[in-house]
Amino acid sequence: MEAYKKWVRDNRNYLYSFESLANGLTWLLPERFSSSEIGPEAVSAAVGVITAVNEHIIETAPTQMRVNATVPPSFPYSLCISALKNLEPLIEVAAQQYYGDDKRWNFIAVTEAMKVLFRLALFKNSGYRMILEGGETTNNETHLETSTSQHRANGGHHASGYLGYVNGHNQSSLEGRAMSALSMFGDNARINSTPAWSYRVQHERATFNPPATIPERSTLSTILSEQGHLGALFVIGEVLFITRPLIYVLLIRKYGIRSWTPWFLSLAVDLIGTSFLSYATSTPKSRKDQRFHLSDSEKDELRRRKMLWAFYIMRDPFFERFTRRKLEGAGKVLQPVPFVGFLTAKMVELMVGAQTRYAYMSAS
C-alpha cells in the first residue's frame, strides 16, 4: 500500500490527465443511461472512486500536511463522501433493475442519509466551518490566521477561528461531471480543468510562513456565545444545505417525482439556507455588528451553491414540462445542419440521460 501511495504522489500530473480523460469517456459508454444496464455505471463508479482515493492519497502526503500545519482528521470523511457520491448512480441503477422504479428511492434515501451523517460529522469535526464542495474538499486552517489577522489589522473583529481557506476545489465531484455533460458534449467531465490537488501543489511551492500554532477548534457553544444570533443563523444555514438533498429525496419518495411539492420545498430550503449564510457572513455595517469573515474559497463556495440552483430547471416536473420541450425543439431545428445537428442531438441525449440520475443529486 505504501508503494502505491508513493507511486501516486510521484505521478500525480500523469494521473490527473488519465483520470480526466477516463471520466470524460465514461459519459460516452454505450447504454450509459439505460435503466437496465449496470455495466457502464459500474465502470464510471470505479473510475470515480479510484480518482477520489488517489486525490486523498495526494492530499494526505506528509509534505502537504506539514505545509498545512494542521492535524488530519481521525476519520477520512471527505473520502467517504466522494466514494458515496460516485457509487450512488450505480446503486440507483441496480435498485431500479432489481426492485423497480418506486423502491429505488428507498436505496437512494439511505445513501443520501449516509452522506448527511458524514457531512454533519465533518462539519462538527472541523469546528463548524463551512463545508466546501459538499465535504469532498477539506476546509483547511492554513490561511485562517492570515485571513483573521488581516481582518484584525483592518479594524475588524475576530471570527471565532472556524472559517478557513482551502487550496482549490474538488473538481472530480459528481455534480462537476454532470454540469460538464450538461454544458458541452465531449468536454472534460469536470467544471474546471485544474484538479484540487494540482492547485494545492502550486501552494506547496509558494513561499509563506505556516502558523506556529494550530487554531483551537470552535464548539457550538463557543459560536453561539461569541456570535449570538449570527452564529445560530450560520449553523442553521449550513445544516439546511447539508440536509437539503435528503429532504428532497424523502419528499420524492412520498409524493412522487412528478409532483411539484418536492421541487418547491427543495428550492425553498436552498433559498432559506443560503439567505441565512449570506446574512451571517455579509460585511458588517458597524463595529458593533460582528459578522463572520469568509476566506476567498468560502466566498467561492457560496457562489458555487448559487450556481447549483441552475439544476432546478433539470429536475422534474419542471424539466418534463418546460426544459425538455425547449431542448427537443432546438434539436429539431438544428437537425438538418451537418455535424452540428449530430452534436446537438447527442448533447440533448446526454442531458436527458443525466437528468434522470444526476440532477436531483447535484445539490452539494
Rounded CA gap, 46 and 69, in Å? Answer: 32
Tens digits of per-residue pLDDT, 275-304? 999 998 885 655 454 567 788 888 899 999
Q: What is the number of other CB atoms lying within 10 angstroms of the CB of residue 320?
A: 13
Any idea where the domains of the chain sit in the sequence?
1-63+73-124, 219-285+292-311, 315-363
178 Cα distance to chain centroid? 11
- Res 106 pLDDT > 50: yes
pLDDT (tens digit, 9 = 90+) per residue, 35-75?
557 878 888 888 888 888 888 888 887 754 444 444 444 68
Q: How far is CA 127 from the centre of its chain?
A: 19
**For residue 239, what are the CA distances in angstroms to 84, 227, 243, 248?**
19, 17, 6, 14
pLDDT of residue 202: 47
DSSP letter (8 states) at residue 33: T
Number of continuous H segments (helices) and E segments (strands) in the chain: 16, 0
Asked if 267 and 312 touch (Cβ cutoff 8 Å), the reply is yes
* Most confident of the following: 66-75, 152-161, 348-357: 348-357
Query: What mean pLDDT comes out for the span 245-254?
Result: 94
* Cβ(104)–Cβ(95) below 8 Å: yes
How many other CB atoms are there within 10 angstroms of residue 306's CB atom?
13
DSSP string, 153-221: HTT----TT-----SS--TTSHHHHHHHHHH-TTS-SSSSSS-HHHHHHHHHHS--PPPSSPPPPP-HH
Question: What is the SS3 assignment for 137?
Answer: strand
pLDDT at 199: 44
Q: Max CA-CA distance within the chain?
A: 66
Query: Three-class SS of residue 132?
Result: strand
B/e letters for 96-113, b = 16+ CB within 10 Å, e = fewer, are beeeeeeebbebbbebbe
**Backbone φ/ψ region at 31: left (φ over 0), alpha (ψ -120 to 50), beta:** left
Residues 6+ apart with CB under 8 A from 268: none
Q: Is the pLDDT of residue 211 over 90?
A: no
Q: Judge whether 174 and 136 are in contact, CB under 8 Å.
A: no
CA 8 to chain centre: 23
**Using CA atoms in the order 134, 135, 140, 143, what is the torsion angle rounded to 10 degrees?**
10
Q: Give, as one character, the DSSP assignment of residue 129.
A: P
Query: Model's pTM, two decimal places?
Result: 0.73
